Structure 1
Amino acid sequence: MSKAAGKLKSLKKTVERVTHTSKLKTNIPAGMAAAGPPLGPMLGQRAINIAAFCKDFNAKTAEMKEGVPLPCRISVNSDRSYDLAIHHPPATFFLKQAAGIQRGTMTPGKEVAGMITLKHLYEIAAIKIQDPPNVLLTMQQMCEMLISIARTCGIKVVREIDPAAYGEFLEERKLIVEQQRRELQEKREAKMLRTG
């Protein structure tokens, strides 16, 4: 064996193996992590102890309102341990909560599902800017991003809202949403009859 081959062999021994971690991004409702689908199979594929993860997640989110969707980033280490990073709820959740609506519009830009004030927008931006992906954004950039998200949800950003008029608007909106649901249900039933 030549000197170069001997050096190469000794060099291979000294270099440590690089272990790549498996990353998982998912939304989990606060306090409601369960071993069933869809969370259980995702964790099982990465050889994470599902029961321990669910217990850990539910303990960390115990003080939060149950059912709030939380974006989670899970890094799986080679020894089957994991690092769990829990972010604030999605911007759409905050925007819909501030507007007092359950769902956004089906046709963004054509109909308004709800309204929020600039104050609401600023408060949401102050919360969302704390998330690691948004740390490098300025407050203005964060607000602009939230305005565009609100627009896609059909939420109009205004300076002031008259509570009485907005209450009437929401009542009218409930009727429209109910009618849209009925139309969707009829379309589904008609499609089922055609394929059946």
Structure 2
Amino acid sequence: MSKAAGKLKSLKKTVERVTHTSKLKTNIPAGMAAAGPPLGPMLGQRAINIAAFCKDFNAKTAEMKEGVPLPCRISVNSDRSYELVIHHPPATFFLKQAAGIQRGTMTPGKEVAGMITLKHLYEIAAIKIQDPPNALLTMQQMCEMLISIARTCGIKVVKEIDPAAYGEFLEERKTIVEQQRRELQEKREAKMLRTG
């Protein structure tokens, strides 16, 4: 029994202590980290120096276009230090930029909000596959995932796009989007009147 207890004690000494870190997942606009809500309170709850974090984040994203949403993973250590991992912008951001639209469709599958080519899709997949969560995916799996995301946004993937015809499509789409916004605003106002 004493030999087993001695081995157990020696094993306990060799096993390193596990540190449990608090993780925070959030999207922060590039170059626009500020101490105010919603970022400030999230960092404050985890006892991170908010001003130092904002300065560090803004310095790391200085070369990027301001306002681009960046998914961030922040691991907080027990000594109040943190590790910041900044991923590439979300796939929906890239898809909407490639299609030249501001927002996706309200009824996926029934309405087309925009179009992209297979070349656009492949280039977006090449960027998104570099993110740590997608590291184990093949390029084909990444492209299939992006096609399904595009479908939920109402973006159609085609082989070729005629620029003149697509420009006309986007102009028609602007009137549809404006009409949808008006309908949503009317519904909101009607709901406010009912609850008020």
TM range (shorter): over 0.9
Change (3 A) 1:115 1:9: closer
**CA 1:116/1:10 → structure 2, altered by over 3 Å: closer, same or farther?**
closer
Aligned counterparts of 1:121 and 1:174: Cα–Cα separation in 2: 23
Deviation of residue 194 (structure 1)? 1.1
SS in 2 for 1:110: coil
For residues 21 and 189 of structure 1, what CA distance do their matches in structure 2 show?
Answer: 45
Matched residue SS, 2:24: strand
The structure-2 alpha-carbon separation of the partners of 1:27 and 1:14, relative to structure 1 and needing over 3 Å to count, comes to same
Q: Report the secondary structure of 2:23's partner residue.
A: strand
C-alpha change, 1:16 and 1:176, in structure 2 (3 Å) is same
- CA drift of 1:14 comes to 8.3
Matched residue, 1:160: 160
The separation in 2 between residues aligned to 1:8 and 1:123, in whole angstroms, is 54
Instruction: Give the Å deviation of 1:195.
Output: 1.2
Structure 1 residue matching 2:83: 3-state secondary structure = strand
* Alpha-carbon distance in structure 2 between the residues aligned to 1:2 and 1:144: 59
Deviation at 1:31, TM superposition (A): 0.1
Distance 1:139 1:190, change over 3 A: same
Unaligned runs of 5+ in 1: none
Larger mean CA deviation between 13-22 and 143-152 belongs to 13-22
**Percentage identity across paired residues of the two chains:** 97
Instruction: Call closer, same or farther: CA 1:165–1:13 in 2, change over 3 Å.
Output: closer
Alpha-carbon shift at residue 5 of structure 1 (Å): 9.5
SS at match of 1:31: coil
Give the length in aligned residue pairs: 196
Distance 1:8 1:137, change over 3 A: closer
TM-score (structure 2 length as normaliser) = 0.93
TM-score, normalised on structure 1? 0.93
> Could you tell me how far apart the structure 2 residues matched to 1:54 and 1:87 are?
17
Shift of 1:18: 3.1
Deviation at 1:16, TM superposition (A): 6.2
